[in-house]
A and B are shown apart, each in its own frame.
Chain A
Amino acid sequence: MDAESRPEVKRVRLTGTRFEGGRLPIDSLVELQKYQKIVRIAAEAQWRQDHPGEAVPPDFRDSVSLTIERIEDGSADIFMLFEQHQAYVQYQAEAQDAADAVIIAAYSDAPIPQLPALSPYDDREFREVVADFGVTLSPDQSIQFFADGTSEPVSITVETRMVAIERLSRIEDFLVPPNLAPPTQGLQTIQASLVARVTTLYADESKFDFVLTDGTKSHGWFREVPALLEDLREVVNPSETGPLTRITGSLQLRLGNIHRFWEVSSLERVQFDDTAWGARLVEFTSLLPGWHDGEGQQVSSVALEGAQMFLRAADPGQGSIPGVFPTEEGGVLIEWATESLVRSVEVLEDGSFEMFSLARGAREGVHAAGNLNDAIAFITASDA
């Protein structure tokens, strides 16, 4: 692979007579420092959001440090690498992606992306530093900025920079109080499982993208369990019909919505029957803790499995179709309800079963508890 197309290599080309022959004047180094600062702001903002109330670690800044790998002839064609600090590599990678996206957008017609991790204070500082990128250029010089090694660069010149500054400035900036603290609220980490389709795998970054059955897209890391790479290779599939996989680990929520898996601890392939109730059980796999007006546990794996086995055996396709519902406790309620008779089987979160029936007009109901076979027998008997 060419150096230019290695994703970890950052390429910036300075053009103009003073850069010919691969010379890099000392005062031009400030431009590279500016780029480094842009990435650092994004990385530190992400860290603060992920660790509310914690100080940024002392070695964090060093982890987002660029070093010049080489300068090629012809112009000052500079190839930079991040110094390797594995502890924070994910921040470095995400921050660089975010910073590059804003720089490219500022110098093209693309809308400038919002970076949700940035507080109003960080956002203003970030835009100011991006606007400052290229300040040392004279009229005959340019910076060719490459988002990656293969795409066309955007050109930063005295003229294009004027346009970019305008694009980067926002009227809201004048309304932001200067002493606004960075946000520390809104991010919550819980131990949870989700059922999703793994759509893309980035083996080098120990990262993957996934999409939930309701269409929600997110990503996760498996840095602490590298053995999961092989499991992920077996299930990764960009199509909508890829296999469903239960992903378990430290799930981060932002304002109650799925943000990402900070660390994945296990993966398990799951399958639901191609029936109406199978589709219904798939829906339950996207429920997060608090799904029921702030209450409501996630539906447990054993409850989903128990419900699937029961519904197969009860063969609802042959008779009336039951309602299938998640319960607040993390189980599944299967209910045949008419105006004159209600029969139900509740699969509890621990996989056990509770059965109930009541006829309209009856004073008392029939209650029972047991296992899968007991539940099937209960329903079969009341069918008879």
Chain B
Amino acid sequence: MTAGSIELLELEQLVDDGEEVIYRQITIHMRDGNKIRTDAFGPSTADKFMPSYARSSVTSAQDARDWHTRNAKSASTAVYGVSVGEAIASGRHVVDDSEVPLAAGEVRSPGHCFVDFRGLTKNEVRVLRTKLYFHAVARDEIATSETLEDGQLH
């Protein structure tokens, strides 16, 4: 598992600003009380080795959380983040796929990107997501508020 093994599909682009933080949404099934599971930072089956993050250069943590809660099947309960440099140091690159055409009925969050787990074995997935976990919890939760209902005021 090396950051050097890069294979991008058409219209995918590498995110090359190592300082940029990418946001990960934490849903109810990713936590046991205040404990966050390490695989929250890796792919679920539906992700197909491309777990979704959102670029801080395009969207705010709050907007990313709100978008997720309003469009995904599970509401976001918190936002954590890793930097692009930390993902690369963990062994994999970050891919911006915002220009890739969507299939019918699909939606994609603003600033959508993913940490590229493609081609990794089960053990390699475990290691990478755990390394991302270390970075994310060291940064601590990124402050956001619960998404408001439509029409609800602050």
Contact = CB atoms under 8 A, between A and B. Distances in A.
Say whether A and B bind each other. Answer: yes
A292 B127 contact: no
A296 B46 CA distance: 10
Interface in B1-50: 27, 29-33, 35-39, 44-46
Interface in A253-307: 280, 291-296
Given A323-B36, A333-B39, 12 more contacts: A280-B32, A292-B44, A294-B46, A324-B32, A325-B30, A333-B37, A337-B35, A340-B134, A356-B123, A356-B130, A364-B127, A367-B126
Contacts, number: 67
Contact of A358 (B27, B36, B131): B131
Given A292-B44, A293-B44, A328-B44, A342 B38 contact: yes
Contacts of B126: 356, 358, 365, 367
B70 to A, nearest CB: 15
Interface in B128-146: 130-131, 133-134, 137-138
B35 A323 contact: yes
A292 B29 contact: yes
Interface residues of B, number: 26
Interface in A121-177: none
Given A292-B44, A294-B46, A325 B37 contact: yes
B137 A295 contact: no
A121 to B, nearest CB: 29
Nearest to A321: B35
Contact of A291 (B29, B32, B33, B37): B29
Smallest CB-CB A-B distances: 5 pairs? A323-B35, A323-B32, A293-B73, A360-B134, A295-B45
A292 B40 CA distance: 12
Contacts of A291: 29
B73 A294 contact: yes
A348 to B, nearest CB: 11
Interface in B61-114: 72-74
Interface residues of A, number: 26
Contacts of A339: 134, 137-138
A325 B31 CA distance: 8
A249 interface: no
A365 B73 CA distance: 33
A120 interface: no
Contacts of A293: 27, 44, 46, 72-74
A215 B150 CA distance: 28
A280 B39 CA distance: 18
A339 B46 CA distance: 28
A365 B32 CA distance: 23
Contacts of B33: 323
A328 B32 contact: no
A365 B33 CA distance: 26
B133 A342 contact: yes
Contact of B37 (A294, A296, A323): A323
Given A291-B29, A292-B29, A335 B37 contact: yes
A296 B45 CA distance: 8
Contacts of B73: 293-294
A63 interface: no
B38 A335 contact: yes
A351 interface: no
B121 to A, nearest CB: 10
15 contacts: A280-B32, A291-B29, A293-B46, A296-B29, A323-B32, A323-B33, A325-B30, A337-B35, A337-B133, A339-B138, A342-B130, A342-B133, A358-B126, A358-B130, A365-B126
A373 B22 CA distance: 40
A326 interface: yes
Contacts of B138: 339
Nearest to B135: A360
